[in-house]
Each structure stands twice: as C-alpha cells, then as structure tokens.
C-alpha cells in the first residue's frame, strides 16, 4: 500500500521551531508578531501562502522579503535538528518491512526537505516526495495525484497521514483514505471534519490501523 506522510507536526516535532522563526522573522522584517495559535494554523501551507494568510496587507514583494527573513532564521535554528516524534522511526521501519511504499507530501520547499533529509536516517525509507515549490500547495490535492500517478496507484488505495486540516482536506478531495495525528498543529475537532479513518494519539498506532484497513480493501 502507498502511504503518504506529512512531515512537520506528523513525523518531525518542528511546530515550536516554526512558530519561533515566524515570530522572529516578523520582528526582523518589522511587522506585527502573530501569536503562536495563529502561526500553528498555517503550518503545512507553502511558505509564501502561509505568510499571505498571516499578513494579508502585504504585497507580493513584501511577502517574499518576509519569507527571506523567516528562512534565514529557520536555517540558523535548524543547526539543532528537530527530533522525531516518539515511535516514528520504529513504525516507519516496520511499515517498510511489511512491504508498504512510503512517501512524503510536505509544505516545505525542496531545498528545505533535502536539508532535513540529509540529517535523518529514516530518509532512506521514503521512495518519493513532493514539496510545495514543485506543485500546488496544500490543500490542493495535486501533490497526492502526482505521487499516485508515479506509482500507478489509485488514490482510493493509498492513505494520507497528517496533523492538519490541510493534509486531510487534500486527501478528502480525491477520495483518498486519511489518518490524523492528535499531537500536531491542529486540534482533533478540526481533523474530524474531514472524516478520517481515525485520529491516533501515537505514531505507532498506525501499524495495526493500516493492517486492518488493508484487509478491508
């Protein structure tokens, strides 16, 4: 089975770093600092789109300048890599051993994902990925369509796993089964709007869930 994972907030415990860097980027650029909840709301979107949501008064040029401030801060902060959530490495290895095809669909840029993957042993477990600067931003489902097409898999026979509404919405829009995680950026109540198979509290809970779902296909 093709299983497509979000990265930030699902595999990587990176939300606090994203909030910090967005707030520092705002200070550096000279705009109002948004609170943590507002910033968590846009985690998962392509970065320029996220900034446009937070600062609708900014024009395109200003958005790109603010983006550069955020990126500089994040690269510096990422000298201390984000940690994997508990159970992620073992669960991904078990899913791979069981024969599942694992991919990533992320709001990061390709440069950002490559930088993260360079420091992660688990990167070798993923056979494919899509980044927001290569395709349409979440919640547009284009990145899911592309990953499925590359593998000749119907979306109905794949699973999307993520921590935000944007992850589950894009899967819902192409009738792809989906699973939420409760420990990420968005609340369980928001995730449940998109009728996931389940919302799990621990990454390791994916193992029996995927097994049961696959048996039903």
CATH number of the domain that residue 39 is part of:
1.10.150
Residues 124 and 145 in one domain: yes
* Per-residue pLDDT, 74: 95
Residues 97, 184 share a domain: yes
Using the 3D structure, point to which of 77, 96, 121 is the last residue of a domain: 77
* Residue 86 sits in the same domain as residue 56: no
Low-confidence ranges of the chain (pLDDT < 50): none
Quick one: 92 and 177 in the same domain? yes
* pLDDT tens by residue, 87-143: 999 999 999 999 999 999 999 999 999 999 998 999 999 999 999 999 999 999 999
Please state the domain count of the chain: 2
pLDDT for the residue 109: 92
Residues 157 and 181 in one domain: yes
The Cα–Cα gap between 34 and 29 comes to 13
pLDDT of residue 119: 87
Q: Which helix (H) or strand (E) segment is 145 a member of?
A: helix 142-150
Q: What is the pLDDT of residue 217?
A: 82
The residue range of the domain holding 166 is 2-13+82-216
Q: Is there a single domain that holds both residue 94 and residue 181? A: yes
User: Does 42 lie in the same domain as 116?
Assistant: no
DSSP 212: H
Co-location of 212 and 127 in the same domain: yes
Does one domain contain both 39 and 113? no
- Residues 58, 128 within the same domain: no
Which of 77, 99, 117 is the endpoint of a domain?
A: 77
Q: Global pTM?
A: 0.94
Distance CA 121, CA 141 (A): 28
* CB-based burial label for 209 (10 Å; 0-12, 13-18, 19+): middle
Q: What is the CATH number of the domain that holds 132?
A: 3.40.50.1000
Residues 86 and 181 in one domain: yes
């Amino acid at each position: 089975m093709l299983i497509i994972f979000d990265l930030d907030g699902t595999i990587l415990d990176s939300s606090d770093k994203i909030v910090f860097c967005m707030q520092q980027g705002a200070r550096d650029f000279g705009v109002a600092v948004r609170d943590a909840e507002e910033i968590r709301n846009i985690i998962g979107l392509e970065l320029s789109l996220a900034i446009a949501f937070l600062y609708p008064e900014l024009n395109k040029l200003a958005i790109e300048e603010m983006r550069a401030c955020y990126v500089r801060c994040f690269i510096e902060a990422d000298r201390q890599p984000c940690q994997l959530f508990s159970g992620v490495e073992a669960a991904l290895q078990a899913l791979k051993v069981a024969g599942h095809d694992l991919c990533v669909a992320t709001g990061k840029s390709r440069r950002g994902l490559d930088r993260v993957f360079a420091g992660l042993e688990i990167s070798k477990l993923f056979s494919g990925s899509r980044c927001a600067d290569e395709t349409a931003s979440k919640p547009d489902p284009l990145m899911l369509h592309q990953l499925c097409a590359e593998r000749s898999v119907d979306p109905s026979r794949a699973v999307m796993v993520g921590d935000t509404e944007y992850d589950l919405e894009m899967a819902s829009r192409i009738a792809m089964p989906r699973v939420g995680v409760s420990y990420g950026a968005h609340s369980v109540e928001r995730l449940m709007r998109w009728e996931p198979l389940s919302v799990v509290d621990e990454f390791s809970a994916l193992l029996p869930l995927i097994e049961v779902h696959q048996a039903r296909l």
